[in-house]
Chain A
Amino acid sequence: ETGVTQSPTHLIKTRGQQVTLRCSSQSGHNTVSWYQQALGQGPQFIFQYYREEENGRGNFPPRFSGLQFPNYSSELNVNALELDDSALYLCASSLGDRENYGYTFGSGTRLTVV
């Protein structure tokens, strides 16, 4: 098992800029979910991709968007960054779009917006 790999590990951006975060899912996993974990909070669901299609979305504005590629890796894009977007962004992969299969989390990308 290679686990879930996220890049970069840390990032500093200026308010108004755009950012792309990347995630390589665990080998054999076809589902990727993204979560935002603000300081002192639990992770909040952003969206999930299953076989390259968005398969559910949390309460995040459209400036949060994503992609899943044929190799099941994924990107999270955030446009027009705001200070409140500063958080740890977690990617989780699984085999199938039901949690019964079990999710594997990456270590996250810590985004700081200044």
Chain B
Amino acid sequence: AQSVSQHNHHVILSEAASLELGCNYSYGGTVNLFWYVQYPGQHLQLLLKYFSGDPLVKGIKGFEAEFIKSKFSFNLRKPSVQWSDTAEYFCAVTSPSGTYKYIFGTGTRLKVLA
């Protein structure tokens, strides 16, 4: 069965620090990959997605993620975080072969100190 692992459950950074959140998935076939963000009290919002092509994907708010197929990874990065990036981040995977459901990781709670 597919699964998604997010190894960092809680991350605390100071403003302007660089961010990298890990995401690994277990599925041998072709996958679509996503990062969602959930700001306090708000709904899940799509940050970025990867379906095919350039493995370096740029999303909203300065976030990017790199798909490394050999490592089954899709890590999220941001060069310089802001206080407003404080949120919970979820990695998710789907298979384009027809299993139209998201498999989410357990999430990483990021706190950025001003």
Contacts and interface: CB of A to CB of B under 8 A. Distances in A.
B44 A90 contact: yes
A42 B104 contact: yes
A42 B100 contact: no
B100 A102 contact: no
B61 interface: no
Interface string B78-114: 0000000000001010101001111111110000000
Interface residues of B, number: 26
Contact of A40 (B94, B96, B106): B106
Interface residues of A, number: 26
A43 B106 contact: no
B43 A56 contact: no
Contacts of A48: 100-101
Nearest to B107: A42
28 contacts: A4-B43, A33-B100, A33-B101, A33-B102, A35-B102, A41-B106, A42-B4, A42-B6, A42-B92, A43-B102, A43-B104, A44-B104, A48-B100, A48-B101, A56-B99, A97-B100, A98-B96, A99-B34, A99-B100, A100-B32, A102-B46, A105-B36, A105-B44, A105-B45, A107-B41, A107-B42, A107-B43, A108-B43
